[in-house]
Amino acid sequence: MSRKFFVGGNWKMNGDKKSLGELIETLNGGKVDANVVCGAPSIYLDFTRSKLDAKFGVAAQNCYKVPKGAFTGEISPAMIKDCGVNWVILGHSERRHVFGESDELIGQKTAHALENGLGVIACIGEKLDEREGGITEKVVFAQTKVIADNVKDWSKVVLAYEPVWAIGTGKTASPQQAQEVHEKLRAWLKTNVSEAVANSVRIIYGGSVTGATCKELASQKDVDGFLVGGASLKPEFIEIINAKA
């Protein structure tokens, strides 16, 4: 089964209207051959969606697990959709390890986002001590199980494998390391969800992806795209988007 290459740009807490406006102009002028979704800071979701060409999707970088209420600082899937935005990034390692989000909370957010019609880029990945301790599979399978338990329609889900030790560090998992984990994740989905889901769901790689590393990573059989951090704020993002072309 052919899985359409998928590239997410996670702008994180970066940019202002001027710099993001310039980036959007560059993206709008680029030729892209993939599904592309840009994750804007929540305060710029409306701005980004209004300026970015319709060939690009837009994602919120987080959302809460209920429609509305006394949750200062949070945003809901309903609000995200009201801005014309159709995706959300959930479970990013920074949400897990900087803000202390649990697997359980990420699962609840995933269920609520999907019930409200958002596509979910669901992030999983191990820390350096976990990889060095030989428990990469145990960690990523446990994280994936909590997400899977909250998904009814897998057509709206993209799994993003992000080794935490390779995010913002300049270190990248080798193409072989990335492929090995992606292949094992696909086998886990086959055993624990279904063969059809395992064949169709896109598993993308995140962790210091750059113009220099993207082509070899994209050539791996089970790497179906990228979740790009810092490089998604630079013109080379177009090159990364077209890594498979």
SS3 54: coil
In sequence order, the 6+-apart residues with CB closer than 8 A to the CB of 149 are 107
Q: What are 14's two structure tokens?
A: 């970066």
Annotated catalytic residue within 101, 126, 130, 162: 162
- Kind and range of the H or E element at 10? strand 6-10
112 is catalytic: no
Annotated catalytic residue within 92, 94, 112, 130: 92
Q: Where are the alpha helices (DSSP H) in 116-207?
A: 128-132, 136-148, 175-192, 195-200
Amino acid symbol at 206: G
162 is catalytic: yes
In sequence order, the 6+-apart residues with CB closer than 8 A to the CB of 34 are 4, 5, 6, 7, 225, 241, 242, 244, 245
Q: What are 193's two structure tokens?
A: 């969800």
Q: List residues with catalytic annotation.
A: 92, 162
